[in-house]
Amino acid sequence: MNPAPNLILVGPMGAGKTSIGRRLAERFGLEFADVDQVVVERCGATINTIFEHVGEAGFREREKAALAHVLAEEGKMVSTGGGAVLDCDNRSLMQRRGFVVYLRVGVEAQLKRLGRDRSRPLLRRGDREQVLRDLTAVREPFYMEVADLMLDTDGLSPGGATSTLAQLLASQWQRSERAA
């Protein structure tokens, strides 16, 4: 049993962090928070617009502040953006404040799930498949570093992944108060 005050999902775009996060929140009676959504609400602008105006670095600053804001609380089911693990402060905060689940997905499944999505600025540049492969190469070690548990979502529906995760979490995660 691994005690932590929050549950946190990390993983690449298209891993199902938001849809699985919402379902898990319901199952465990947690309040759902999507860090991307918090950034959008705080800035009053879409992620694409934020990238256009302040670049990726500006987005990462806002993402970091939003993550810290959300994880200051307890009893949350937190979905993070695919790049949140790039920052070492974010990684140590997640490990201190949550039980972290890495939702893995292969590039082929990502391409299918993301379809023609236009809401993610990193996918608007060049060859999508190559972009996704490059992002995976850089980020996978960080997902592995922060994770308490990993689930491969290839071939799983959001409902199926949620049921599997709920079972694993029941035996591995214990909700706790105040882990500083």
- What are the residues binding ligand S3P (CB under 6 A)? 13, 17, 36, 47, 81-83, 120-122
- Rounded CA-CA distance 47/40 in Å is 6
Question: Closer to ligand S3P at the Cβ: 15 or 169?
Answer: 15
Nearer to ligand S3P, 29 or 126 (CB): 126
Residue 16 CB, shortest distance to ligand S3P, in Å, is 10
Specify binding-site residues for Mg(2+): 18
Number of Cβ within a 10 Å radius of residue 117: 12
Binding site as annotated, residues for substrate: 36, 60, 82, 139
- Please report how close the Cβ of residue 7 comes to ligand S3P at its closest, in angstroms: 16
Is 29 or 141 the residue whose CB approaches ligand S3P more closely? Answer: 141
Encoded amino acid at 106, one letter? G
Sign of dihedral through CA atoms 113, 30, 149, 166? negative
Q: Which helix (H) or strand (E) holds 100?
A: strand 99-104
Instruction: Give the SS3 label for residue 156.
Output: coil
